[in-house]
Amino acid sequence: MIGLALAFSSCSSSPESKLLGTWKVTEVKVNFDEQKADSQTISQVENREKQTILKFTSDSTLSIINDNNTHRSLWTLGDKGLISYQFEKDHTVYELGTLKNNVITATSSTPLGDIVTVFEKSK
């Protein structure tokens, strides 16, 4: 019985277990070239990003929710906190972001510039 309790407690403190649950955006930084994008476009991008929700489950399913759409994929967590995901019918592995100090930081590069999105786990 003690061995089972130790095994369970070690699993629940694994780096992967820290991801389980719902994550919401707490900060968005849009670093666009202002000659290519006006303030209205930047504001729209920020607002769209703020609506993104990530749900990680113990069966390695990641649900990415945005604009009333849910996209399901399989997630993995690398040694240095890099979170990757892959859609079921797509063999491409995408980088979501990095888990560090209980925060996920995702950076997206676009032709207009970079978007940095910070997620924190919902309570």
pLDDT 10s digits, 75-104: 999 989 999 999 988 889 999 999 999 999
Tokens of 75: 């997630």
Main-chain phi, psi angles of 114, to 5 degrees: -105, 150
Q: What CATH superfamily classification does 18-121 receive?
A: Calycin beta-barrel core domain (2.40.128.20)
pTM for the full predicted model = 0.85
Mean pLDDT of the region 33-39: 89
**What percentage of the chain exceeds 70 in pLDDT?**
89
81-84: long-range pairs with CB below 8 Å, 24+:
81/15, 83/19
Integer Cα distance of 98 and 101 in angstroms: 10
Give me the helices (H) in the chain, please. 2-12, 39-50
**pLDDT > 80? residue 107:** yes
* Residue tagged 């820290």 (tokens): 18
- Averaged confidence pLDDT in the chain: 89
Q: What is the pLDDT of residue 88?
A: 86
